[in-house]
Amino acid sequence: MTSGWLPHSLLGYVQDFALKVLAAGPIPRHVAFVMDGNRRYARKHNKQIQQGHSAGFVALRRVLEVCLKLNIRCVSAYAFSIENFKRSPDEVDALMKLAEDKLLELCQHGNLLDEYGVRLNVIGRTEMFPEPVQAAIRKAEAMTRQNKRSILNLCMPYTSRDEITTSVETCVRKAVETDCIVTEKDINDNLLTNLGGSPPLDILIRTSGVKRLSDYLLWQCCEDTQIQYTDTYWPDFGLFDFIPIILDYQRKMWAKSAPSS
């Protein structure tokens, strides 16, 4: 949702005030995004598909900053599904180039992850990416390894079933070696998100009016996750879409903790 009706000079004050009010209530520990609608955004604005994905990256940066200002400890974003390799070579190449260029930029000294002490985890089958993208990922992760305040999980190339299968494989191998049985806790602890230290998933948000999980964090959202859908295309998603979602989370948390009469 855009906020074009507000003069730009006022917008910053309104946003900071809104964030301060929100921060006084319960804050989710972990929020995940299915960043959907980049191509429809591009078509709507007569732009090329690549420009839609670039606008998606700008939105990711903007939304991440809002989350960090709210002291949300962990943000996960679905940046590339294993299924996305089936898209046209032009689109896949554009996404690879975006990842290669923007990952390092995000981690530079003085940039967002450095400023807020965010550790970057790239989660998924990174070996499927071209070597220059893998190199950028290694470098970007190394640049943020010492950061302890927050976590950004960029899931790419990722699917949840692949993550669960890999975890089960690891658990079975260990169980055979040690003659133990595999428990639910073992599978949970060996998920890539949990190996990276992510707290339980409190909110999962999907943009663009599509109501599907698309193989994203299926295990993680089985516990107490609030699933939220919004019609806004991802590149347009901003604070004014996020506020009602956080307020809804806070209302449910207060209702849970209220003494029953």
The contact pattern for ligand FPP, residues 51-70, with x = CB under 6 A and - = no contact, is --x--xx--x----------
Angle between helices 8-23 and 239-257 (to 10 degrees): 20
Widest pairwise Cα distance in the chain: 66
Does 241 contact Mg ion by CB under 5 A? no
H-run or E-run covering 73: none
Choices 22-30, 33-41, 139-147, 212-220 (CB under 5 A): range interacting with Mg ion: 33-41
Cα distances (Å, whole numbers) of residue 79 to 98, 172, 180: 11, 29, 36
CA neighbor of 232 nearest in space, from 208, 204, 211, 212: 208
For residue 94, what are the CA distances in angstroms to 28, 81, 90, 99?
A: 33, 15, 6, 9
Give 8's contacts (C-beta < 8 A, 6+ positions apart): none
Name the percent of the chain in helix, strand, coil, to the closest 5.
55, 10, 35
Alpha-carbon gap, residue 66 to 79, rounded angstroms:
18
Measured at CB, which residue is nearest to Mg ion?
A: 36
Q: Near ligand FPP by CB under 6 A, which window of 34-42, 136-144, 161-169, 181-189? A: 34-42
Does residue 36 touch ligand FPP according to CB under 6 A? yes
Which one of 32-40, 125-133, 136-144, 194-202 is the stretch in contact with ligand FPP (CB under 6 A)?
32-40
Is 36 a binder of Mg ion (CB under 5 A)? Answer: yes
Residues 201-230 that bind ligand FPP (CB under 6 A): 208
Query: Which CB atom, from 27 or from 151, has the smaller least distance to ligand FPP?
Result: 151
Residue 246, binding choice from Mg ion, ligand FPP, none, Cβ under 5 to 8 Å by partner class: none
CA dist 218 and 193 (Å) reads: 12
Among 99, 152, 192, 204, binds ligand FPP (CB under 6 A): 99
- Distance CA(62)–CA(60), nearest Å, equals 5
Interacting residue with ligand FPP among 79, 136, 151, 221 (CB under 6 A)? 79
Active site residues: 36, 84
State yes or no: residue 102 binds ligand FPP (CB under 6 A). yes
Query: Which positions lie near Mg ion, rule CB under 5 A?
Result: 36
Query: Which positions lie near ligand FPP, rule CB under 6 A?
Result: 35-40, 53, 56-57, 60, 79, 84, 95, 98-99, 102-103, 154, 208, 234
